[in-house]
Structure formats: structure tokens, C-alpha cells
Amino acid sequence: MSDQNTLRVDVIATTRFTPPDDVPWSTDADGGQALAEFAGRACYRSWDKPKPATATNAGYLRHILEVGHLSVLEHAQATLYIRGLSRSVTHELIRHRHLSFSQLSQRHVIDDPAFVVPDPVADDAELSELFATAARRTREAYDELIEGIQRRLAGSEGATRSKRVRQAAQALLPAARGTEIVVTGNLRAWRQLIAAHGSDHADDELRELTVTCLERLREVEPNAFADFVLTDLPDGRRIASSALVTEG
Ligand SMILES: Cc1cc2nc3c(=O)[nH]c(=O)nc-3n(C[C@H](O)[C@H](O)[C@H](O)COP(=O)(O)OP(=O)(O)OC[C@H]3O[C@@H](n4cnc5c(N)ncnc54)[C@H](O)[C@@H]3O)c2cc1C
């Protein structure tokens, strides 16, 4: 098991919006943020745009966020493929009940996954060595367990034996073990995640993941996340906050 793992977040799916051709309205955005505007306007048939402040998609969604009409954001979805995060963080991530998850199986996938080294450890040579030594010993013990359990289950049915071997040995693997996960959520649920874990009080790895998710989501649906402010703290950590967030 190697010591280092690098966070990577990719947007792999977003909402495609097809406006009906009989509605006298168009906007200057597309995808999920255009759909959110359409849904909001559909409530009042407000297809005309008399107010300059809400005449653009950015202005309209800003108004939606300000008045808390957040349910229109639930029509639009985004899916992220996240790699290089720890099982410790996925355990916290999956507590968010409006997101959907598909995570790498420890029982089926045999490889040599890396550990995610916490920043205060990675930044210190002595602590990094301590962490690397513990990781190496864990891997050695894991391999010994695999061999021992294989011997013990030698007579059992072949198709399930390898899974039973790995599922028993994985009990030893630490929370820092790297993993991969596909996460789908509507834009309101993604905002709730960012509001909950983007702050200085959140777990460091989860906060950095949350900030990175925000950056990726802004690349595809900028107006739905425009209110979040990214701040670099003096110690190099990044936080995300919004004056408009009223839930999370
Ligand atoms: C700083 C911090 C520290 C934490 N520490 C701990 C800890 O020590 N131990 C621990 O176990 N967890 C901890 N958590 C996790 C936390 O308790 C939540 O499980 C997690 O953040 C998911 O948030 P949520 O339940 O608000 O919302 P989600 O599941 O994301 O749902 C979003 C919103 O939908 C609504 N909602 C969802 N389900 C229901 C429901 N059944 N009934 C009513 N409303 C609902 C709520 O308004 C909720 O805020 C911590 C979270 C943070 C941010």
C-alpha cells in the first residue's frame, strides 16, 4: 500500500434542458441553471422580463437564492466522480440523504490502494515517516491475514471464497484507506453539502473536498453557486461560505 493519494473530482454528468418551443421565453444560460430559471418562472408564467435585476439567468437565480425559493434548484442534477479521498470522509459524505452514491467495493476490487495522508501529517517529515511505517505494517498484516484466511477457508466453495477472504481481511484496513465514489445530487443538495462542510469547523479533508466540489460545480452551473465566497485562510486552508445560505 503506497502512502500518498491525490484528490481528483470530475463532473461526469449534468442536466440537459430542452425548453418547450411554445413558451415565449429564452435565457442566457443552459443546462441545470436554465432549467431552474424555467421552473421558477413557470410558477407565475413570468416569461417576460420587466426587471433588469432578474433579466439574466445570473440575476434570476440570485433572486431565487435571496428569497429562499430553493426547491427550483432540485430539478437540476450534477454527478461527480471523486477519487483520492479516504473512507473516513466517504463515511461523512454518505450521511447526506439527498445525495446518491456508488462506491468502490473493497470486497471485489483487488489492488494496491493508497492511503490519504492528513495535511498536518503530510506537512511534517517526522509524522509522515510515522504514518508511512504504520501504513507499511498494516499492509503486511493485511497480506498475512489474506494468506491465513485463505488457508482456513480452503475447503469452502470457490466462487464466494475470495470475497469472504477479502471481506474478513479488510476489517483491518484503516479509515485513511483511499477510495473512489460517484455522487449524484440535485443543486440544492450540493449547496447543502457545501454549506455544512465548507467552513473552518469542518473536517480538513472533507472541507477541502467540499471546496473542490464547489469549484467543479461552478464550472458547469456557475449561477446556482455564485453566492459562495472562497477564502484562503492564513494557514493555507480554504473555506467556502455564503451570506445567503439559510439551510444546510
Ligand atoms: C461540523 C459538523 C460536525 C459533525 N459532527 C458529527 C458528529 O460528531 N457525529 C455525527 O454523527 N454526525 C456529525 N455530523 C454530521 C451531521 O450530523 C449530519 O448527519 C450531516 O451533516 C448531514 O446533514 P443533515 O442531516 O443536516 O442533512 P442532509 O441529510 O444532507 O439533508 C439536508 C436537509 O434535509 C432535511 N432533512 C433530511 N432528512 C430529514 C429528516 N429525516 N427529517 C427532517 N428533515 C430532514 C434537513 O433540513 C437537512 O438539513 C457533523 C456535521 C458537521 C457539519
- Asked if residue 28 lies in contact with residue 59, where contact means CB atoms within 8 angstroms, the answer is no
Looking at residues 208-212, what average pLDDT do you find?
Answer: 97
Q: Residue whose CA is closest, atom 16 of ligand 1?
A: 95
For residue 54, what is its C-alpha cell?
Answer: 432578474
Question: CA 221 to CA 228: how far, in whole Å?
Answer: 13
Residue 91, Ramachandran bin (φ over 0: left; ψ between -120 and 50: alpha; else beta): alpha
Predicted local distance difference test score (pLDDT) of residue 3: 44
Predicted local distance difference test score (pLDDT) of residue 162: 78
Measured from the CA of 203, which atom of ligand 1 is nearest? 1
Distances, alpha carbon 58 to alpha carbons 19, 37, 99, in Å: 18, 9, 25
Question: Which of the four pLDDT bands, split at 50, 70 and 90, describes residue 69?
Answer: very high
What is the pLDDT of the chain when averaged over all its residues? 91
Question: Which of the four pLDDT bands, split at 50, 70 and 90, describes residue 1?
Answer: very low
Looking at residues 213-219, what average pLDDT do you find?
Answer: 98
Residue 190 burial (C-beta neighbours within 10 Å; 0-12, 13-18, 19+)? buried
What does DSSP assign to residue 172?
Answer: G
Measured from the CA of 201, which atom of ligand 1 is nearest? 1
Pocket test for ligand 1, best of 184, 190, 192 (most atoms within 8 A of CB): 192
| Amino acid symbol at 19 | P
- Asked if residue 196 lies in contact with residue 239, where contact means CB atoms within 8 angstroms, the answer is no
Sign of the Cα torsion 12, 62, 75, 35 reads negative
Cα 102 to ligand 1 centre (Å)? 20
Check whether 203 has a pLDDT greater than 80. yes
Predicted local distance difference test score (pLDDT) of residue 170: 85
Predicted local distance difference test score (pLDDT) of residue 105: 86
Predicted local distance difference test score (pLDDT) of residue 34: 98
Dump pLDDT digits (tens) for 56-65.
Answer: 999 999 999 9
What does DSSP assign to residue 236?
Answer: S
Q: Residue whose CA is closest, atom 45 of ligand 1?
A: 97
Predicted local distance difference test score (pLDDT) of residue 176: 92
Question: CA 220 to CA 205: how far, in whole Å?
Answer: 23
Question: CA 27 to CA 78: how far, in whole Å?
Answer: 20
HSE-CB of 215 using CA atoms within 13 angstroms? 13
25 by DSSP, 3-state: which?
A: coil
Question: Which of the four pLDDT bands, split at 50, 70 and 90, describes residue 197?
Answer: very high
Question: CA 134 to CA 131: how far, in whole Å?
Answer: 5
Burial code of 35-57, b = ≥16 C-beta within 10 A, e = fewer?
A: bbbbbbbeeeeeeebeeeebebb
Predicted local distance difference test score (pLDDT) of residue 164: 83
Predicted local distance difference test score (pLDDT) of residue 159: 64
Looking at residues 5-23, what average pLDDT do you find?
Answer: 95
Q: Residue whose CA is closest, atom 8 of ligand 1?
A: 92
Looking at residues 142-171, what average pLDDT do you find?
Answer: 83
Dump pLDDT digits (tens) for 158-186.
Answer: 667 777 888 888 888 889 999 999 999 99
Residue 106 burial (C-beta neighbours within 10 Å; 0-12, 13-18, 19+)? middle
Predicted local distance difference test score (pLDDT) of residue 200: 92
Predicted local distance difference test score (pLDDT) of residue 150: 87
Give all strands (DSSP E) within 152-237, no chain letters: 178-186, 229-232
Check whether 33 has a pLDDT greater than 70. yes
Dump pLDDT digits (tens) for 71-123.
Answer: 999 999 999 999 999 999 999 999 999 999 999 987 777 666 578 999 889 88
